[in-house]
Amino acid sequence: MTDEVRPTAVVRVSPSGAQAEAWSLVLLALDIPHEIESVATGHALVVPAPFLRRALKALDAEDAEAKEPPPAKMPDRGRSYIGVAIAIVLVAMYVVSGPRGGADAGGWFRTGSGVAERIMHGEWWRVVTALTLHSDWMHAIGNGLASIIFVGAVGRWLGGNWALFATLLSGVLGNAITALVYRHSHDVVGASTATFGALGILVGLQVAWRIRARAAGRVGRSFLALAVGMGLLAMLGTQDSFEMLAQALGGGGSGSHSRLVAPTVFVASKVDLLAHAAGFVSGIAVGALFESVRKRLAGRGGQAVGLLLSVAIVVGGWWLARGRL
């Protein structure tokens, strides 16, 4: 009795033994039985006849994947120290202005805090100056640390000076939206609107870049970037930033970021949820905008413009505010 000979089929033939071995690895990974045989034209990949269709499908899929362009690399301008610079400025400003609720001998809070009613009545500079004032030292340090993390990350994408301008713009828009919603009886200080704006910028940059670059899985990953950003907003923006650190240091809570002001009393709130959310949403829009013009802003000249605009806005805001003393 002779052994039954199973019919076989040739899947592909290549003059290159290395190519045949590469095909073999694909079939081996899928547990498809096969052999490489020497033929007159080179090396033939042979499979049992019932496995022919499966083998062809596997190799065709491998070819299609190999033809896909490599995934686009995200922009990276290198390490940026703009977050550190912002942290230093915020702490220095706190040393000059002091805490809210103190004597305010210099009139910093009187002329610069984000009082919604006064913003709505023409004192628009407060949407800028309020970003540089803080309730207490832990509030200032917390926002400084957040700037190092979030604004520093934006700096890797846009360059330090444009990251500064984009973050400032997000904070200004966030404070303006907050004032527009409250319209009165609300007073906010702190850079947290801008730092959450920087988080939103990162989301906006990611979403816009994936769509523009037509990156593989761009739609799903864009939603993933948005979901991650909203998760961080929910985790950090709905509780007192660095409160646990303050308690560990024995300093208690980090103090109020916002106040609901009445003629004779006020109610203190540890966080301003609306301001954080407004900064985050503004940041998404700003990030998408900057991604669309990012290449035009490249270069030292463009970076200098970003720095000059940022300094002009902050200095100009305080010049108008101090003129009210």
Task: Please report whether residue 74 resides in a domain.
Answer: no
Closest by CA to 213, choosing from 71, 45, 89, is: 71
Residues 128 and 253 in one domain: yes
Q: Which residue has the tokens 């202005």?
A: 97
The reply to whether 93 and 209 lie within a common domain is yes
Confidence of residue 320 (pLDDT cuts 50, 70, 90): very high
User: At 20, which CATH number?
Assistant: 3.30.70.1530
Q: Is residue 238 part of a domain?
A: yes
The yes-or-no verdict on residue 236 having pLDDT over 70 is no
Domain membership flag for residue 117: yes
Q: pLDDT (tens digit, 9 = 90+) per residue, 96-119?
A: 999 887 778 788 999 999 999 999
Count CB atoms within 10 A of the CB of residue 159. 24
State whether 61 and 92 are in the same domain: no
Name the residue range of residue 280's domain.
82-322
Residue with tokens 């096969």: 34
Contact of 43 with 20, CB cutoff 8 Å: yes
Q: How many domains does the chain have?
A: 2
Phi, psi of 269 (to 5 degrees): -125, 135
Answer yes or no: do 60 and 105 share one domain: no
| C-alpha 32: how far from chain center | 45
Instruction: Report whether 116 contacts 128 (CB < 8 A).
Output: no
Residue 133 within a domain: yes
| Within a domain: 75 | no
Q: Are residues 31 and 108 in the same domain?
A: no
- Residues facing 36 on adjacent strands: 45
CB 87 within 8 A of CB 145: yes
Residues 244/222, Cβ–Cβ less than 8 Å:
no
The verdict on 169 and 300 lying in the same domain is yes
Using the predicted structure, report yes or no on whether residue 158 has a pLDDT greater than 50: yes
